Amino acid sequence: MSASLIEIARTFNSFTSAAEKSVLFSTKQNPSTPSSKQLYIANTLVGFVPPFAIEAFSKSSYFTSTPISITLVPSLLSYQQRTHAIASMLSAWKSSGLFECLKGWRNEQYTVYGSNNEPIVAIERSAIGLFGVRSYGCHLNGYVRTVDAHHQSTIKMWVARRSYRKQTNPGMLDNIVGGGLPCGANPTANIIKESFEEAGISSDIASRAISVGVVSFWQDSSIRGYIPDTEFCYDLELDASFIPHPADGEVEEFFLWDLETVKDHLSKGEFTPEAGLVVVDFLIRHGAVHPLSEPAFLELSLLLRREFPFPGPSFV
Amino acid sequence: MSASLIEIARTFNSFTSAAEKSVLFSTKQNPSTPSSKQLYIANTLVGFVPPFAIEAFSKSSYFTSTPISITLVPSLLSYQQRTHAIASMLSAWKSSGLFECLKGWRNEQYTVYGSNNEPIVAIERSAIGLFGVRSYGCHLNGYVRTVDAHHQSTIKMWVARRSYRKQTNPGMLDNIVGGGLPCGANPTANIIKESFEEAGISSDIASRAISVGVVSFWQDSSIRGYIPDTEFCYDLELDASFIPHPADGEVEEFFLWDLETVKDHLSKGEFTPEAGLVVVDFLIRHGAVHPLSEPAFLELSLLLRREFPFPGPSFV
């Protein structure tokens, strides 16, 4: 089984723009079906609640409902109060075994931002798809470049196979370094820290990584819910002599592949959604996927930068 | 007067997503105000007609109107028939001096694509904003890199000042090479051709340019109309000894600037919209604008890849 890059990108971006519009523009007279609902916290639209989570929210005293929206009660005034209330609700949901995704409880919180980029609440990572709020991660493309006498440059990319013991996407292919961006961290500091933990890249070397932009996509997972995800991307050119080695047991093995081999594994669906789209972005930025090689080049380019109707963070 | 990068990007992207939605979701019961209309050709939504052009379309026998849409009559069955009909209408509009933008008649046609990426009509370049159909261009970022003993890389960028005699944006700053993508051309061949004409870059050297993706934005111009524009971007690393020289008189002078100087001129509004956004994309991809330097980094990154509700071309 092999799929084209655009099919892969569409699969990873499984919550379509059309579905987004049907929730965003549903009205009380004409609520969308199936009934995803807009989620409001601190007067801000911050997420979409997936159909399978609506009943649970409607039973919680912390939320009020209309045919099109779910709203955290405004009496919860502060970040701390909101975070505490939601943690207590999730703890009850976890105990009662209500949602499969909460079995992967991470004890790690993701921040939700208000319209001025201010943190308005933090939510346990394994639960964010139930709220459909934005999530964030950082990925590092580690690559080795050789240039011949005719200025022709050849790039090979380091690829990691995730540990078979990881909670999410065990055994799948990933970037040399990648992970969620936890509460309070900044993307650049986070990528340097993770570079050492996941691939044994010293902070001296990791500090040479270049921020190259973002990739964003919106996943619709039947287990986790809606994941409007943003990945901060970094490129790091490594010496041919460098060999990565995992320090924290999160990686099974590393491969150094030419870009055609990377594309083969992409088309077989072996990469995680996050890494898959980050790798497609790398292939586009380095000329390995271009207008004359890829029939859906324009759609693919634009699909990698999905806009979301919810505010996000600022790190400055 | 100096503006932040995000203000510049918003200015260039002056037809907002909110305005787009108001035209896209207007209904016969509730037509949007001011009355931009959806444009249909060959059963495909291909553009938005700006308010100031609606009356002219409604008087043409080639088009039919509703409160929300304008449609090319379906009896024009072929690409040739449609192209001929629209050329004849535009010729009459030009003679009667109806639209300012037609004074800049280019004798160059842009292709409009149908839902399977097939050309369905070609329209004179100076008129495309009256139809609000997609336009395409190619830009080359020419740069010089120096790397010191500590692997620290410094980039300088070649910037062109457009001839003061050009019809559009005379005297403004531009990429070393840039221009519209005419009917039938492919982006890579076009950038090689333009590299020689505009900057004296031989095809040997220009062939080393790397396709690095696209930048897209939607301009609302009171003179030209709506311009949903896509630029195919290329990076070309040049030797420090290379000096560009214009072959066709379209460039006044060239500058080799460090990236801080480029940002200064950007913030003064001296770049054309196309080049300005292509340069912002270059700054992001090369780490000169990053999450810790730019408060609106996320918004800026996503604003450079505007999606359009109209189909585009495929070059494969």
Residue B1 has pLDDT above 60, yes or no: no
Choose, out of A211, A238, A294, the residue to mutate when testing the contact with B (most B CBs < 10 Å).
A211
pLDDT in tens, B193-226: 999 999 999 999 999 999 999 999 999 999 999 9
Residues B260, B154: Cα–Cα separation, whole Å: 11
Average pLDDT of span B120-149: 95
Note the pLDDT tens digit of each residue in B157-173.
Answer: 999 999 998 878 899 99
β-pairing, A225-237 with A135-147? parallel
Compare CB distances from A151 to B208, B290, B296 and report the shortest one's residue: B208
- Shortest distance between the Cα of A188 and any Cα of chain B, in A, equals 8
Q: How many CB atoms lie within 10 A of CB A49?
A: 27
Buried b (16+ CB within 10 A) or exposed e, B196-225: bbbbbbeeebbebbbbbbbbbbbbbeeebb
Q: Would the pLDDT of B32 be above 80? A: no
**Is residue B183 very low, low, confident or very high in pLDDT (cuts 50, 70, 90)?**
confident
- Segment 86-125 of chain B within 8 Å of chain A by CB: 117
Angle CA A291–B256–A152, to nearest 5: 45
Which of A215, A286, A279 is CA-nearest to residue B212? A286
Q: Give residue A262's pLDDT.
A: 97
Binned at pLDDT 50, 70 and 90, residue A1 comes out as: low
B202 inside 8 A of chain A by CB = no
CB distance from B304 to chain A under 8 Å? yes
| Torsion B105-B106-B107-B108 (CA) sign | negative
Specify the pTM: 0.95
- Burial class, A133, CB count within 10 angstroms (exposed 0-12 / middle 13-18 / buried 19+): buried
Taking contacts as CB-CB distances below 8 angstroms, the residues of chain B near A216 are 302
Distance CA A85, CA A82 (A): 5
CB contact under 8 A, B211 and A284: yes
| Residue A44 in this model has a pLDDT that exceeds 60 | yes
Query: Quick check: A295 contacting B, CB < 8 Å?
Result: yes
Q: What residues does CATH 3.90.79.10 cover in chain B?
A: 135-303
pLDDT of amino acid A183: 77
Instruction: Describe chain A by its helix, strand, coil percentages, rounded to 5.
Output: 30, 30, 40
Which option is the CATH number for A135-303: 3.40.50.2300, 3.90.79.10, 3.90.78.10, 1.10.10.60? 3.90.79.10
Alpha carbon distance B60, B64 (integer Å):
8
Write down the pLDDT at residue B35: 80
Please state which of the four CATH numbers 3.30.750.160, 3.30.70.1060, 3.20.20.70, 3.90.1150.10 is assigned to the domain occupying A34-131: 3.30.750.160
| Residue A246 C-alpha from the chain's centroid | 22
* 3-state class (DSSP) for residue A229: strand
CB contacts < 8 A, A to B, total 110
Q: Give residue A179's identity as a one-letter amino acid code.
A: G
Residues in Cβ contact with B212 at an 8 Å cutoff, skipping those fewer than 6 apart: A284, A285, A286, A287, B141, B233, B234, B235, B285
pLDDT for B22: 86
Statement: residue A308 has pLDDT above 60: yes
Secondary structure, 3-state, B217-279: EEEEECCCEEEEEEEEEEEEECCCCCCCCCCCCCEEEEEEEEHHHHHHHHHCCCECHHHHHHH
Query: Can you give the pLDDT at residue B311?
Result: 96
Chain B residue nearest residue A204, CA to CA: B150
Task: Write down the pLDDT at residue A310.
Answer: 96
Reported confidence tier of residue B246, pLDDT bands at 50, 70, 90: confident
Instruction: Please determine, for residue B148, whether its predicted confidence score (pLDDT) is greater than 80.
Output: yes
Structure confidence by residue, pLDDT tens digits, B66-95: 999 999 999 999 999 999 999 999 999 999
| A166-170, A187-191, B46-50, B73-77: least confidently modelled range | A166-170
Residues above pLDDT 70, as percent of chain A: 98
